[in-house]
């Protein structure tokens, strides 16, 4: 009778809908409960709101820092301890990298990041 489905208006909304579980698992793995709460707050807000708020932007950027391992070299932060538990050959590492790339894409298209904020790596095919 009535269409009560929410319409996702940005690529970030679509990303959240598609990768919600992966984001939560990765947040817990790399940052523990504080980052799981951060991810949960962002995902809940994206499900309930169509406009990106300052709180959503702040949580998205915190998660981006986590996915890009921005704080793992600071031994005073818990992220360093979580990162120390990982081994580079673990299969989940590649999944985390792909998730980080997809998250960056969604943040770029949504306007939360600018192209200058994202490092792009190119493979030199002449090597």
In-domain check, residue 115:
no
DSSP for residue 73? T
In-domain check, residue 117:
no
Q: The whole model's pTM is what?
A: 0.84
In-domain check, residue 45:
yes
pLDDT value of residue 18? 96
75: number of CA atoms within 13 Å, CB side? 0
Considering only residues 125 and 70, tell me which one the structure prediction assigns the higher pLDDT: 70
What's the token pair of residue 90? 């673990």
b/e sequence 38-73, b meaning 16+ C-beta within 10 Å: bbeebbebbeeeeebeeebbebbebbbebbbbebbe
pLDDT value of residue 9? 81
What domain range is 75 assigned to? 11-110
| DSSP assignments along 15-33, one per residue | HHHHHHHHHHHHHHHHHHH
In-domain check, residue 4:
no
């Amino acid at each position: 009778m009535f269409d009560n489905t929410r319409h996702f208006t940005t690529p970030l909304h679509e990303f959240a809908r598609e990768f919600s579980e992966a984001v939560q698992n990765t947040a817990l793995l790399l940052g523990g409960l504080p980052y799981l709460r951060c991810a949960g707050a962002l995902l809940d807000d994206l499900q309930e709101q169509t406009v990106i708020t300052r709180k959503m932007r702040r949580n998205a950027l915190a998660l981006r820092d986590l996915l890009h391992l921005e704080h793992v070299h600071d031994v005073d932060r818990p992220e360093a301890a979580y990162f120390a538990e990982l081994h580079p050959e673990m299969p989940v590492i590649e999944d985390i990298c792909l998730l980080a790339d997809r998250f960056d894409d969604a943040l770029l298209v949504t306007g939360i990041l600018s192209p200058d904020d994202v490092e792009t790596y190119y493979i030199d095919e002449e090597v």
